[in-house]
Every structure is written in structure tokens, then in C-alpha cells.
Chain A
Amino acid sequence: MMLRRIPPWTYGFWAAALMLGVIGLQSGLGSIGPTLTVALAFGAISVLVGTGQMFVIASGPGNLDLSVPSVLTLAAYVSMTVMDRTGGVISAGIAAALAVGAVAGCLNYAAIRFLRLPPIIATLAWSFIFQSFAFNLGGQATLKPPQALSDFTNWRLGWVQVMPLTIMTLSVVAALALAFTVWGRNLLATGQNERAAHFAGVRVGPVRLVAYVICGMTAAMAGVVLSGFTGGAALNMGNTYLMESIAIVALGGTSVAGGQANAIGIWGAALFFNLMGTMLNIFQADAGLRFVLMGILIVLIVAIVPRPEAR
């Protein structure tokens, strides 16, 4: 029963370390550095999206934001367009993206609250609409980021990558917010038992609204960073982040039933996902096998995690 002594949310980190070891053995110790660099950068973008999703998932059973990929894409298009029109003013582009994300979050919550829809359906319907806007704004073309943005996302001080470091700082802020701010405590209380939280004086609605707004904004920010890092906004750029954001949040130790969240664990799961992709690439596994292994691992990890006693 060794497993019971290792906290489940650290499984991602152990698995990631194992992958890194295997990669090192297979292609030489020298390859570990560059591999880790790439995994940290792409992992950071997944973490950004995942952190927003974590707040939403923690806000109660059934809460899930399916509009994440379309918000990411739409925000990327809007910010690239703004940066282009203003002649490369990055702050204007980022502000525009954050505004898109915040509006998206408000719309999602409004549909849940006023149309009394299940969050899955409400965010799904909005995601169709956001997708149409992205399609009309950018179409099939890839919108190029200004040079300064690409430079920033690839910026290094010595061997330290600034972009992943910034997002790590954000993760720490998110963890502290959950543990020590009034909103964070209220969010977890709402997630555990909405009625009890309401009777205890928590204003459940606004607390949840903020979670959706944050989720929209992190997805939007991820859109900007991803465009900068990969050289442009494209129509399908967000697709992989829907399933990935949910999976890394759950594997990172956040309860899908709500009321309990872990912002740091997301990093382990995100690194594990990215490194596993790299490892299977090295072993030249074909795409099908890669999906199968990834699926089996997700199921296995969820199945072996020791579960707390029923409340």
C-alpha cells in the first residue's frame, strides 16, 4: 500500500520524471535539456487553460467549460488583428484578448443562470457561436503575430524560459487564491455544497460568475501565447485543449465532483502529457497507438488513485 503514502496529485510529476528518464536512456542524456524545454513551454500553455478550467470544475458538480477551445481561438484572432492594426502594440492585443475572454465567461454564466441550462449545454452552445465569430474574423488564413510577441514567448534569461516561469508564478498565485482569499474559500464551499454555502452567507452566483470569467480569460491568454509561440493564430489551434484541459485538471488532483482543487498538480499532469507525446515520438509509435496509450493511462490513473472515504 505504498500508493496511499504518495499524494495522488503528485502522480503526474512522478510519471513525467519517468518519461524524462526513458527519453534520456533512449536518446542520450544530452537530449533531456531540450526535451524538457519544449515540454515546459507547451505544458505551460496547457496549464494556463487548465487553471481556468480548474476553477470552473471546482465550483460544483456538473460545472465544465466546453467553450475553452473556441474562446482560445477567437481571442487569438482578435488579438492578432488588434496587434496588426495598431502596428504591433502588444499590450493592446492582450487587453483585447482578455476582454474577449471576460465577455465569453459572462455570457457562459448568464446562459447557465438565466436559461437554467446545464453548464455543459450552455458552454457548448456558446462555443458554436464563438467559433462562427472566429471563422468570420480570420477564416482559413493564419494570422501572424508581431515579432515582439514571438520574441517574448521565446525569451530566455540564461537557461530560464520567461514564459513558462510567468505561468508557474500564476499557478502559485492561483493556489494561494484558493487557500487564502475569501473568494477562493467561497468557491470551494460552493463546490462542496451549494445550499450549505448559500445559507452560510456565500453569494453563490457572483462566486461562480468569477470562476467562469477567469476561465474565459485564461483561455484567451493561452490563445495569445500560443499564437506567439507557434507563429500564428489558426482556426483549429484550440481543438486539442478541450479534452486536455479537463484531463490534466482531473489527473492533477482536482475533484470532478467539485469543492476541491489543486493548482500545482496541473503542472505534473501537463508535463506528463507532453513528455509522453515526445517519448512516443522517439519510439516512432504511430498516431493510433499514441492515442490508445494515452487513453489507457488516463483511465488507469483515475482508477488507481486512492479515493477518500465517502462523505
Chain B
Amino acid sequence: MLDRVRFRRALPVLLPSVALGVMLIAIFSIQPSAMSYFGFTLLFKMAPPLILAALAQMLIILQGEIDLSNGAFVGLVTCIAAIFLKDDVALAFVILLAVMAAYVALGWLIHFRQLPSIIVSLGASFIWLGTAILFLPAPGGEIPDWLRTATAWKPPLLPLPIWIALIIAIVAHLVLMRSSFGVMLRAAGGNPRAVQKAGWSIAWLRVVVYGAAAVLLVLAGLMLAGLITSGDPNVAPSYTLLGIGAVILGGGAFIGGQVSPVGTVIGALTLSLAGSFLSFLQVPATWQIGAQGVILFLVLAGRVLVDDRRRA
């Protein structure tokens, strides 16, 4: 018998993991050669940027807010990387810091004026997209070789995307679920008033959260730029919604204070594998996006079923 409390805690991780497992088994039964170092590298090639963007979204959702500008920001970072990184690393760094500061400032504005984050981040998404187009009107630019080789690196034992997923999941779990600062962050999302009464500055916590999200998004953008070897303002709009999907798949809720870092990472892996999975099943291209919607429903429907049983 499973311990009830343990089971409840494991639940957010369990469902997307099952979905991930089912898809992998299906892929391997069709194409056994995919079960290799090379196969995994290929299947999860585009996963790391999505994982990072999903974690950034998770931090925002943890605060009871939402960020619709997530994908546009990643696109902006790829453009900055494609234009400045090769010739002048310091300049690229300064520009990245400036856009991160702008991102944090908007987060602070949302808190300070108690604005609806949906609308502000919607406006922000136009600002990031526009800035990216000003930098780079059409996809292109040049990515320095070191970034390209870094994203194509073949580490020992496990493929790079798997290493990245593992490390990110462990670090995020330790920081958010095990450290006292993580407890504070979760409390600030669940019950800001209580945290304030306990003597913490919510504004300061928010700045830290938005800052951390900005760092994750910059990393996602750099990694994506390395993978696609160019900059593109419109490369990642889907990251916004897929990121939100990953957070919810991983057991998060929009009420604030309730997210799971490990669940989010697995959710992001699931969503990015869904694409390869459907190609493997030879689902026609025109139905693939629809099938992705169906997968999203199936996994989330599983949550309702388990939920019901628990209550009964």
C-alpha cells in the first residue's frame, strides 16, 4: 500500500511521467533503434529551451500571476545573440542585462500597481517582439561557434538534453521545495498577506522571482539560438502556451503557491516529445497539432480520474 501523503505528493509527477513512458514505449516498439544515445539526443533535441521557459513560467504562476510574453522574450534573446554575441560578448551581455531589467521592472509594476498580469504581459509581448524585429527584421544573424558546439556537445553516459533536464529538475526542486527561501517563495504565492505580516517584503520577493525568470528565459533563448543557429523574432511564440501547458501538466494550479518543479520539467519533456511521437506514428502533418491537443486532454483527464478516486 502506498502511503497516502506520499502518493498525493508524487501525483503531479506521476501522470506526465506515465504519458512520457507510454509515448517512449510506442516509439521504441516502432523504431527500436531510437533506444540509443543518438536516438534520445534526436527525440529530445528541442526540449531544453522549452524546459527552461516552462520553469520561468512556473515561477510566475507560483506567484499567482501569468506571463504571456514568455515566448516573445525568448525570441528577443535569440535575436540579440545572433547579432551581438559573435563580435562583442560584453556588448551582448550589457544588452541582455538591459532587457532583463526591463522584464523585472514590468514584474515590479504589476505588483506595485496591482495590475492584471494577463494584460501587462500581453503588452510586454508586443514590446519584446517589436524590439526583436528592430534588431533583426528577418530571421538570420550569426551565432558564435562556441555556442553552437556547446548545444551540440555529446557528454558521457547520457545525452545532453537528458543531463540538462535532470540537473535543472534537481536544482529547481532543491531550491523551491527544500530550501527555506523556496518555502518563502511558495508562501508568497499562496498567501502574500501572511508573508508580509511575518516581516518579509513581497515586493522584494517578486523582484527576485521575476529576475530568476528572466535569467531562465535568457538561458532558454541562448540555447535555442545555438540549436537553430540563427536569431528569429518569431521563433518561440508557442513557448508561452506550451510552457503554461507544461506547468499545469506537472500539477501546477493558477491559484498561486502550488507548483511542482519536477512535474514541470517532465511536463515540458512530454510536450516536446509529443511532436516526435506523432511523426513516428506517421500521423499526417495536418493532424499533428490537433493530436497534440488530444494528448494534452488525455493526460489532464487522467488527473481528474485519479483525483476522484482519492476523494472517494
Q: Which residues of A contact B (CB under 8 A)?
A: 62, 64, 66, 111, 114-118, 120-121, 124-133, 135-136, 139, 243, 246-247, 250, 256-257, 286-299, 302-303, 307
B115 part of interface (Cβ distance < 8 Å): yes
Instruction: Decide: B294 and A129 in contact? CB cutoff 8 A.
Output: yes
Among B128-136, B173-181, B186-194, the stretch that binds chain A is B128-136
User: Which of B291, B296, B304 counts the most chain A CB atoms within 10 A?
Assistant: B296
Instruction: Decide: B241 and A66 in contact? CB cutoff 8 A.
Output: yes
User: Which of B106, B122, B132, B137 counts the most chain A CB atoms within 10 A?
Assistant: B122
Per the bound structure, the CA–CA distance linking A289 and B135 in Å amounts to 10
Q: How far is the CB of B221 from chain A (nearest CB, A)?
A: 17
B292 part of interface (Cβ distance < 8 Å): yes
Residues of A within 8 A of B126 (CB): 243, 291-292, 294-295, 298
B226 part of interface (Cβ distance < 8 Å): no
Instruction: Decide: A296 and B127 in contact? CB cutoff 8 A.
Output: yes
The DSSP consensus for interface residues of chain B is: helix
Given the interface pairs A127-B293, A129-B290, A256-B116, the reply to whether A295 lies near B300 with Cβ below 8 Å is no
Name the one of B129, B130, B137, B290 contacting A132, with C-beta atoms under 8 angstroms.
B290
Q: How far is the CB of A306 from chain B (nearest CB, A)?
A: 11
Minimum CB distance partner of B293 in chain A:
A128
B interface residues, how many (CB within 8 angstroms)? 47
Per-residue CB proximity of B199-239 to A under 8 Å, as 1/0?
00000000000000000000000000000000000000000
Instruction: Decide: B132 and A288 in contact? CB cutoff 8 A.
Output: yes
The DSSP consensus for interface residues of chain A is: helix
Per-residue CB proximity of B106-130 to A under 8 Å, as 1/0?
1001000111101110111111111
Residues of A within 8 A of B66 (CB): 120
Instruction: Decide: B134 and A121 in contact? CB cutoff 8 A.
Output: no
B residues 110-169 near A (Cβ < 8 Å) are 113-116, 118-120, 122-135, 137
Q: How far is the CB of A63 from chain B (nearest CB, A)?
A: 11
Q: Which residues of B contact A (CB under 8 A)?
A: 66, 68, 106, 109, 113-116, 118-120, 122-135, 137, 241, 244-245, 248, 253-254, 286-294, 296-297, 300-301, 304, 307
Name the one of B106, B115, B122, B296 contacting A246, with C-beta atoms under 8 angstroms.
B122
Minimum CB distance partner of B244 in chain A:
A120
Given the interface pairs A66-B241, A298-B122, A299-B120, the reply to whether A292 lies near B134 with Cβ below 8 Å is yes
Q: How far is the CB of A300 from chain B (nearest CB, A)?
A: 8
> Which 5 A-B pairs give the minimum distances between C-beta atoms?
A132-B290, A291-B130, A295-B126, A128-B293, A298-B123
Instruction: Decide: A292 and B116 in contact? CB cutoff 8 A.
Output: no
Residues of A within 8 A of B289 (CB): 128, 131-132, 135
Instruction: Decide: B248 and A118 in contact? CB cutoff 8 A.
Output: yes
Instruction: Decide: A128 and B292 in contact? CB cutoff 8 A.
Output: yes
Instruction: Decide: B296 and A121 in contact? CB cutoff 8 A.
Output: yes
Other than A117-B248, A295-B125, give 20 A-B pairs with Cβ distance below 8 A.
Answer: A114-B304, A115-B301, A121-B245, A124-B241, A129-B290, A132-B286, A132-B287, A136-B286, A243-B122, A286-B133, A287-B133, A291-B127, A292-B126, A292-B131, A292-B134, A295-B126, A295-B127, A299-B109, A299-B127, A303-B120
Q: How far is the CB of A239 from chain B (nearest CB, A)?
A: 10
What are 17 pairs between A and B in contact, CB < 8 Å?
A: A115-B300, A116-B307, A125-B296, A128-B290, A128-B292, A128-B293, A129-B294, A130-B290, A136-B287, A257-B116, A287-B130, A291-B126, A291-B130, A292-B130, A298-B119, A298-B123, A303-B113
